[in-house]
């Protein structure tokens, strides 16, 4: 997945908005670029073969292979990385992008592979 859509949203919107605003903008950018995605998919969890009532909802799954998790914080924290790792483990997917629109300047993008 090219990072151009992420940087375009950052260029146009800049910092300071809530995560939901960036999520909506990024969905529009994915559509414009014909990037296949699912927004806020519900991920079912299991414990010892029993489905749990709790679900995970990452911001996007692109190309059915990449989880994209958005943040709008001053700087990313270990718990943000742990959240993305949990999403990857829950889905069995191997690649995730953690994107922070909240810092000053360019959006920060961290790639995680498990």
The reported pLDDT for the residue numbered 2 is: 65
Distance CA 42, CA 55 (A): 6
- Its CATH architecture, for the domain 4-113, is Alpha-Beta Complex (3.90)
Tens digits of per-residue pLDDT, 10-40? 999 999 899 999 999 999 999 999 999 999 9
Give 42's DSSP letter. Answer: P
Domain ranges of the chain: 4-113
The reported pLDDT for the residue numbered 1 is: 60
Tens digits of per-residue pLDDT, 33-68? 999 999 999 988 888 999 999 998 999 999 999 999
Tens digits of per-residue pLDDT, 64-94? 999 999 999 999 999 999 999 999 998 889 9
pTM equals: 0.91
């Amino acid at each position: 997945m090219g990072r151009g859509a992420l940087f375009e949203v950052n260029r146009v919107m800049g910092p300071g908005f809530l995560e939901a605003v960036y999520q909506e903008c990024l969905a529009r950018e994915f559509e414009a670029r014909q990037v296949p995605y699912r927004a806020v998919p519900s991920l079912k969890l299991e414990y010892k073969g029993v489905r749990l009532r709790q679900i995970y909802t990452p911001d996007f799954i692109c190309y059915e292979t990449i989880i994209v998790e958005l943040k709008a914080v001053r700087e990313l924290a270990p718990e943000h990385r742990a959240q993305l790792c949990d999403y990857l483990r829950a889905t069995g997917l191997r690649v995730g992008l953690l994107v922070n629109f909240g810092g000053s300047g360019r959006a920060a993008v961290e790639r995680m592979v498990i």
